[in-house]
Every structure is written in structure tokens, then in C-alpha cells.
Structure 1
Amino acid sequence: MSYRLHIGPNIRKSPYFDATVRDGVATFSVYNHMFIPGNFGDPEAEYDRLLNGVAMWDVAAQRQVELHGPDAGALAQYLTPRNLDATKVGQGRYVPICDHDGHLINDPVLQKLSEDRYWLSIADSDLLLWAKAIAHERGLNVTVREPDVSPLAIQGPKAEDVTAALLGDWVRDLKYFWFREVMLDDMPLLVARSGWSKQGGFELYLRDARFGTALWDRVKEAGAPFGIGPGAPNDIERLESGLISYGADMRHQTHPVTPFEMGFGKMLDLNGPHEFVGKPALRALRESGQTRRRTGLVLDGAPVAGNEHPLPLFHEGKEVGFAAEIAFSKRLSKNIGVGLVAVDLPTGTTGLSVALAEGPRTVTLADLPFA
């Protein structure tokens, strides 16, 4: 059975939308109320380009929440339990954001553009509304808005060569999560060494949506000698690499988790003087001890088609966690996944099972990353 996605005014289009349609996008998903390409008709070729060559992705749906004003730094710090004191202008930080109960509600990359301007490059949730409400309730002198900013990712082993061909060899010296603001012709960009893959690459944050097709074509032209092709954030590569996906691994409405369960414990400054949302709850969670941990999963049997929602994991008839996402890795020749399980179940534990639509499958716990 096949389905079609209705393109209407209630879901926003990316500045690269027309270029992706022209270049053969086959499927879309919806992320942050915006269409995002799913694949371009040949997922295996797109996976191969990511691991062995270079791919370009429309990730404009990775929206920015801008904090601007005298209290921008104070708001940024109050939103996250990670201490931002050492963050420099031009530097990005991975920042867990929690609610007042200590549950994760987003895991953006924070980028410090100046002492009074920050971006939160967010996963799929309405963090803009959260940040605006917090700022208002605390009486902070800061403007919270979504700026005209649309990332385009260049990912894969040859991504550095493509980005250097496009912008110059200075990009080779850019450290991971650091960025620089530049002009490409008339196009204002923020260029960051970052991206949702373990293969390395860059994200070009276009700061004027009018140039969406122009930037897409410039990247395509610069990447042609290196075999660049269009693609999209790849779920199989992210499972192999153990990357975290807000929405799949956790979502506040359906399967809330804590930063301790996702392995973020070392990022949290719970003993420092700064206040932040959820501090008392996170301290209490630390004291009470962690009951679940993130783990890799290996499923036996024939290749799986994947899952549409979290699936409960059972051990000897008792529910002990859930599988967040599963898929067949052709490169590893096995079904793999990620999920949360009880902390007293070590890696290598057997006797677990998960119920798929076609029947139960035996599961073994594995270390992350798989690759």
C-alpha cells in the first residue's frame, strides 16, 4: 500500500524545496512544522555516498531559536543544566534542555554568535514557545524569535573537500562545533563543522531564504567533481553510529526520558551556582539512582522493515524497557536498534524479546556504537 503526502499551506516549505523537487525527491517527512526530504529514490546509493563519498541534505527544518538582547546569555544558561561559562563567540555546544521534572524536551546545539545573541539549533519540538515563556516569566530583557535561517548539510568523507572548493581552504581548520560567518557571493552564511552523522561534514546556515535554490545549486556545482548527490539524514547510519534522535529515542509526550538515561550525566553541572530549569528534580534523580540505560539492540531473524512507534522490550515475560528505533543494517548484516533497558541488564544479555507486527523477535543487548 502506498500513500501520498498532501502539500498544503499548513506545513511550511524549506527554501530548498523547489530544488529538491527538481532533483528528484521521492518522499517527505514533517519536522518542526516543515517538510523535510526523506529520500531521493535510491536509499542504498544515498547511504553509500554518506559513508564513502559526499551527500547534500536539505535540513532547513532544523530551525533556530534566537535569543537576542542584554539577557540572552542569562536565558541560554537558565534553559540548560550544562554550564556555558566557558563558551566562546564562534563556538557551539550540545545542550540538553529539560522540563521542571527533569525530563528531556530537546537536545539542540547552542551557537554563540555574540555576547548578546545565541541560536538554539533545535530538534523536532516547539522549543521557541518554551523559551519565550521562560523569558517572560523571569522578566528577562531578551527577544526570542525564529530568525530567517535555513541549514543545508554537506556530509561524508569528502565533505571537507567540497566545502573547501566552495568557500576556501580555511574551512579545513574549523574545529568541530565551531563556526564562522561569511558571504558566498550575495548569500550570508554561518558555516559550522557539524551535522547529524558520524561521517564528518559541515552545515551551511543560509541567512536569507531568497537564496535557497541558488545555494543548493552552488553546493551541487562545487560537489560535482567529488560525486555529490542529494540525500537526507540517514536513520540506518545514525543507528550504526549510536547517534541520538529526539523524537525517536525520546519524546516528552510519549516516552519521556532523563538526561542520565541518555548518557548526558557528565554534561550536567548540578553542583554549580547557576540556576536552571529542572535543577531540583535532576538533583533528586541523581540521588535516587538511574533505573534505565541506553543500549544497542540486535534482533534475530530476517531483515526488519522498521517500526512506527516505540516497542516494549521483555525479559523472561517482564517488561524491562523499550526499543526506540530498529532497522536492518546491510553493512553489518543484521537487524540493529537502540532503546532503553533496566540498568541491571548488562551488555550481552540474552532472553529478551520484542513483538513486531509479524511476530516476536529475540533480542540481544549490544554496545554502542555498532560501527
Structure 2
Amino acid sequence: MKNLKVKEIEDLFYRDLHELGKMADQINGRIATFSVNKHINYSNVCVSRCPICAYYRSDGFLLRPEEVVDEALRAYRLGARELHIVGSHNPDVNVEYFERIFREIREKTDGNVVIKALTATEVSYYARKEKMSIREYLSRLKDAGLDMLPGGGAEILADRIRKRIAPNKANSKEWLRVMEVAHNAGVRSNATMLFGHIESYRDRAIHLYRLRRLQEKTGGFVSFIPLVFHPANTSFDGLHKVSPQEILKTIAVSRIALSNFKGIKAYWVMIGEKLAQVALNYGANDVDGTVMGERIAHSAGAKTPLELAKEKLVDLIRDAGKIPAERDAFFNVLGVHS
């Protein structure tokens, strides 16, 4: 797929949904993937207090390092090979907190689980708090066992919108800088986009364009996750949730614009199992994973289960007419379910 400009990406959003679906599906093969993973949210105390967030609290919780490790090991014993550890911008958390967690997990699993932890905005916040450079902070975490960054905190990489929905978070330039530093340090990552709030098609196009450009430069992104905004319990709770058609269109455009990403996820936690299944024919080639206990999307009104069994994910993919395959965090196929 040629390198699309912002206007060309924006124009895709005005095309027929089914036409977009066919274009996007042709980029993917027959295989659709999933992972056996565990989400762990270590804290919800956050100084950034984003208007778009339903998760943060001023007097919330902070898990002790041993509690995080215990959750991780329970999931590992159940077959999880990918840990997704994210939280908030908590002023009481220091770098040693994460180092202890990552080291213990790595030692007690013999390195057989991928530690995917801390969004780019968390890295930016904590590095600044510790008076470290991004490179130094990530180097310490990598030495302790960090394998990969998740894609969260990107929201919309258009600052006119970002200033309204997440004014106290790292801006778009800083989010991209953290990712570039991580990629250059050998720490790969995912990327996200939160859509369906006050952004326009052009804002989504800018976001996708900026991700593609950075991927061309570093090759460090693995997958892209379009995240549907859930307005409940946020400052934007008067907004209507985006339609299923708009979700499918955004997934399809994302696949076309980000043809240099291995994966485009249909994140069932936020869009539901049925729509995730349909999305596998509209540009998505992955349904994320078992998840095991996500809190952030559910605090904003997501009504999906807290986890899905591996067998259910296999059936979901197969019933979409695709070939199910289990993958690792880096999108390497571990086994195909024929």
C-alpha cells in the first residue's frame, strides 16, 4: 500500500463501508490471531485527571509489588504468556516499584512471559518525576525485565483535541518521542487511537498518518488498536457512543493506512464479541486475547465480560470464516487451530 497523505486517509472515511471492508480484508491473509494474556492495573490514583477518563481517583488504590507479582504468576500458571501492566500517573510510585515487579516476574517465570507495561504517557510522567531521560528510564526498566510497551495514552495525536480531552498528559509530540526512543532502544510497542468523542475524520487521519511515518522510521510498532470511547462516568458522558458502522469503518481505514503494521486489533472488550467477529472481515486480523480482568474500559461503562476463554476466541475467529491462530505479544504465531 502506498504512503497515503493526511487528506487521502481522511477521504477514505467518506467511502462506502463495504468497499472499505473489501479493500482492508485483502491486505490481511486468512489467519486471524489471539493471545492468552492478562491485564493488570496497578493503580488508579492519577494526577493528570483527564476529562475523558472514568478510571482515575484521587483516593484510589495502589497495589503492592507482591500483589502485582501474585496476579501475574496466577495468570502465568493458567497459560498466560503476555502481561499487560498499566495504571496511572501516581506520584507515590517510583522506578524501583516497577523494577521489583519486573525482576520478580522474570525470575519466577524463567522469562517465559512477555512483560508489556507502561504507556508512553506513564513513561514520560515517571521519567520526569525521577529526573531521568526517557532513554535512561527505559534502560532501567528493560534491564529489570520490560519487553514491550503497550500502545495506550495516544488518545488522538492532534493537539487541538488532545488539549481538551487530556490537557495534563504528555502531548502528541512527546508520545511519539517516547515511542521513538523505545524503538531505538530495542523496546517494541503497540499503538492505539481513542475515537468516537469530539475528534473529526481529519483528526483520525492525522493520527494514523503520524503513526505510519514513525513506523517507516523505526519499524518498532507491532500492532494498532482502535479504541472506542465509552462516555459513561466521564466529563463527556452526554455524548452518544459511536455506531457499529463507524467502528467498522475506522478499523478498515486503519488497516489501509497502517499497512506497515503487523496487526490491527478488534478489541472485543470495548466493541463486544459480535462486532469484533464482524471486524475480522473489515480489516482486523486479531481479537486481542483472553484479557483476564481489565478494569479501565469497564469503569467507563463497557458491558463485556472481564475475560474470554481461549476456546471461545478460537470459535469466534472460526465463525468469522478465518483460521484461528494463537500468537505471542510480538505477533509470532505459536500454533494454528485448523
- Provide the TM-score with structure 2 as the length reference: 0.27
Tell which has more relative contact order, 1 or 2 (C-alpha 8 A, sep 6+): 2
Instruction: Return the structure number with greater strand share.
Output: 1
Instruction: Return the structure number with greater helix share.
Output: 2
| CA radius of gyration, larger in | 1
